[in-house]
Structure 1
Amino acid sequence: MNIWNMLRGHTEQRAADPSWDALANGGNNTTAGAYVDAKSAESISTVYACVQALSESTACLPLHTYRRTDEGYRERADGHWLSRLLERPNEQQTGMEFRESQTAAVLLWGNAYARKEFNGAGEVVSLQPLHPQRVSIVRLDSGRHRYDYTDDNGQLVRLLQDEVLHLRDRTDPGSIVGKSRIAIARETLGLSLSLRAHGAGVFGRGARPASIITNEGQRDLTTEQLASMHSRLTQYASPANAGKTLILPRNMKWQTVGLSNEDAEWIGAMNFSVTEICRLFRVPPILVQTLEQASYNNVNELGQQFVRFSLQRWLTMWEEGISRALLGPIARQRYYAEHAVDGLLRAQPKERSEFYKSGIDAGWLDVEEVRRLENLPQRRVEAVNVPDAS
């Protein structure tokens, strides 16, 4: 038995994290009558859009590995093993796919786990994602934690704290388990699910025609007359007959059915639920295609606010999680990972040009640095032939 298995087997007088059962988001019924868990919550289009806005944006940003130089500057360390790991964390996923799925797991379950695999030099060479619902955390007597994972065959796999990359949402004091936003806002999401079910039932089973025809005569129509009228009206359902004049028999009156007050209140409640869910994930409604308050002037500002106030938390989670879980105490003093967010924070072309001009005129910026900031190639300097003085 190796040292890892000996340590995994130490379970005397262990105490499970008391917050785990409450926050694992196994699902529960709500006052509105809807069952809410991560899967049902993600079926709400606004929840899905918010999760995608944060996870896609986080995953698509370049994540570089840097080295601190002795002079206090930094330089790209693309040849470092950490850079290769972040680019291809395992054989099945690219770096973008891995970070997108792990970020989405934190947003939905509050936690994301990945098993670290090492080579002989102690470097992490692979990160294998673990489903959050299959992981439980045990606090050991030493104060450290063990991760118990149930694999696809139903076998229990015990992992040490140093073998797991654990990313999490906000935790309670004394706990390392992230709090699920789905579990916290279960009642809000349950109301949204109930409103959706109500609307589907009304339009699926309720008789809500767009218009009606009334008979203001004294005699009822026969079955044959009703069938003939229905056949004539059906012809106007064709796009080819759209806009043509409809001729009704004597004493027949056409009436358009408008939206009832009850339907209008339902639509208003659905719109309010969109705002509530966006507030839960701190995503501007404009990013989930709610454009009521969007204008040409505020779209760019809202995008920059999204980076500063919504996306920054998840970028910092990745950067600090990588430093804590993938780099040793000595290595993290020299190396670190950081996202490149300059492209998302760029101002308009006119404002950028004025900023660059002021920097060049003041002497703290040169043309080549500006070209690098704008992702332009280096200018070619033509060689000048100097005549031979002899």
Structure 2
Amino acid sequence: MSIITRALSLVGLEKRSTIGVNGWPVPLTASAVTPTTAQGVSAVYACVQAISETTASLPLILFRRGEDGDRERAADHPLYRVLHDMANPEQTALEFREYMQAAVLLKGNAFARIVRGYDGQVRELWPLNPDNVQVRRTPSGLVYEYSKEGTRTTLLAHECLHLRHRLGDDGVLGVSPIAAARGVVELAIAENQHGVSTFTNGAKMLGVLRFPGKLRPEQRQAIGASWASQHAGAANAGRTAILEEGVEFQALSMSLEDASWIEARKLSVIEVCRLFRVPPTIVQSMESANYSNSVELARQFVTMTLRRHLIGWEQAIAAKCLTEAGRRTYFAEHQVEGLLRGDSVNRAQFYSSGISDGWLMRSEARKLENLSAIEGIDDAPLSQKSVPAPLPYPSKQ
């Protein structure tokens, strides 16, 4: 090791060698898994989009508790508009919540600056880049420091909405699935890069060059670069190679199926779905899907995947956007029935069963469908649907 190399190593600027075993060049690839590189894997992107889009598209309603245990929409409260319509003058509620939920999944944490009005009520929520936020624990509570363009802003605990994935050992920051199982995503990225390189080289290894003598490292590099420039890649497929000095070319054939690359890619999709607890059918992995298990997996997506994130939103809003007195009167809740908006048959059956069993009023069903109220509709008698008599069992004749 030279003096210059040692000096560079001391300051963290050491230079990696590009010469491998026997002088062959070693490709340098960035193996670090970041939220940006992880989204290059289609399964990761699909899982994040499935959770964030669904969570953001569900109606998030601020309710007011009544004296007799009833509840009603608190449409006159300033926070209602922030959660349901516009989070801030530049972003809709859906755009804001989608970004925040994606940040939770990819980076483990999501932060938003809370802007209050003269009356202390929340008027705006502005998302913050989690990479620019530092959280410090002080005797008076958590402090959030946000840096942007050389300007540092300090936010107190009640001035920042903080959403976390699974809480880390420090008790402050969350841990994303990508950080917890980095190897799974790194393997998927490597498989993707392998497929790109293989297809770039004509979907197979070209062959082996045999030389009569031993080559020096610099000769290996020069010959490898020359051969790759003239014969590698799909554009050079079918070109005739000219050999001299006793060089022999031995062609090889290695298909992707022989290397089980396709099966490995399918397994990577399952592994990524397991990280985010997303059923494979949600991200269009339909190898083992049929109608029966697809319906059940869609139900599990709501109960086992979305439920944790929805409750996290509701509790964070109650803790940061409402005062102690406000929490006794108001609460935010997602309307999961919004997932039935695109299925008119199941939506009609849901309303019909609720009205006939007595736990849903007709006026409430019309309100859920954004229909105008009809006076006296709840007082009308329920229509008794005639059930046809069962047909007799057919005889053998």
Aligned counterparts, 1:190-201, within 5 A = 190-201=186-197
The AA in structure 2 aligned to 1:61 is L
What residue in structure 1 maps to residue 266 of structure 2? 271
Structure 2: how far apart are the matches of 1:137 and 1:203?
45
- Please give the TM-score of this superposition, normalised by the length of structure 1: 0.70
Asked if 1:37 corresponds to 2:5, the answer is no
State the Cα RMSD in Å.
2.9
What residue in structure 1 maps to residue 153 of structure 2? 157
Structure 1: how far apart are the matches of 2:55 and 2:346?
26
What residue in structure 2 maps to residue 58 of structure 1? 55
What residue in structure 1 maps to residue 14 of structure 2? none
Structure 2: how far apart are the matches of 1:90 and 1:358?
39
**More RCO (CA 8 Å, sep 6+):** 1
Which SS does the other structure have where 1:35 is aligned? coil
Asked if structure 2 preserves the Cα contact closer than 8 Å seen for 1:33 and 1:194, the reply is: no
User: Which stretch of structure 1 is more off in the superposition, 371-380 or 307-316?
Assistant: 371-380
User: Which stretch of structure 1 is more off in the superposition, 100-109 or 85-94?
Assistant: 85-94
> Which runs of 5 or more residues in structure 2 are unaligned?
1-28, 206-237, 239-252, 378-397
Structure 2: how far apart are the matches of 1:357 and 1:156?
56
The AA in structure 2 aligned to 1:110 is G
Q: Of 282, 286, 289, which residue of structure 2 is paired with 1:287?
A: 282
C-alpha deviation, 1:206, in angstroms: 3.9
Structure 2: how far apart are the matches of 1:146 and 1:167?
15
Q: Of 150, 175, 178, which residue of structure 2 is paired with 1:179?
A: 175
Structure 2: how far apart are the matches of 1:207 and 1:362?
62
Asked if 1:167 corresponds to 2:163, the answer is yes
C-alpha deviation, 1:117, in angstroms: 1.6
- Please give the TM-score of this superposition, normalised by the length of structure 2: 0.69
The AA in structure 2 aligned to 1:323 is A
State the identity %. Answer: 44
Q: Of 95, 118, 136, which residue of structure 1 is paired with 2:116?
A: 118
The AA in structure 2 aligned to 1:133 is D
Q: Of 71, 76, 100, which residue of structure 2 is paired with 1:74?
A: 71
The AA in structure 1 aligned to 2:297 is L
C-alpha deviation, 1:52, in angstroms: 0.3
Asked if structure 2 preserves the Cα contact closer than 8 Å seen for 1:346 and 1:352, the reply is: yes
Asked if structure 2 preserves the Cα contact closer than 8 Å seen for 1:53 and 1:287, the reply is: yes
C-alpha deviation, 1:159, in angstroms: 1.5
Q: Of 71, 87, 90, which residue of structure 1 is paired with 2:88?
A: 90
What residue in structure 2 maps to residue 133 of structure 1? 131
Task: Identify if the C-alpha distance between structure 1 residues 119 and 268 changes in structure 2 by more than 3 Å, giving closer, same or farther.
Answer: same
Asked if structure 2 preserves the Cα contact closer than 8 Å seen for 1:356 and 1:370, the reply is: yes
Structure 2: how far apart are the matches of 1:347 and 1:202?
42
Asked if 1:299 corresponds to 2:294, the answer is yes
Which SS does the other structure have where 1:342 is aligned? helix
Aligned counterparts, 1:275-354, within 5 A = 275-344=270-339
C-alpha deviation, 1:298, in angstroms: 2.5
Structure 2: how far apart are the matches of 1:139 and 1:172?
14
Task: Identify if the C-alpha distance between structure 1 residues 176 and 62 changes in structure 2 by more than 3 Å, giving closer, same or farther.
Answer: same
Which SS does the other structure have where 2:124 is aligned? strand
> Which runs of 5 or more residues in structure 1 are unaligned?
1-31, 210-233, 235-256, 383-390
Structure 2: how far apart are the matches of 1:301 and 1:335?
34
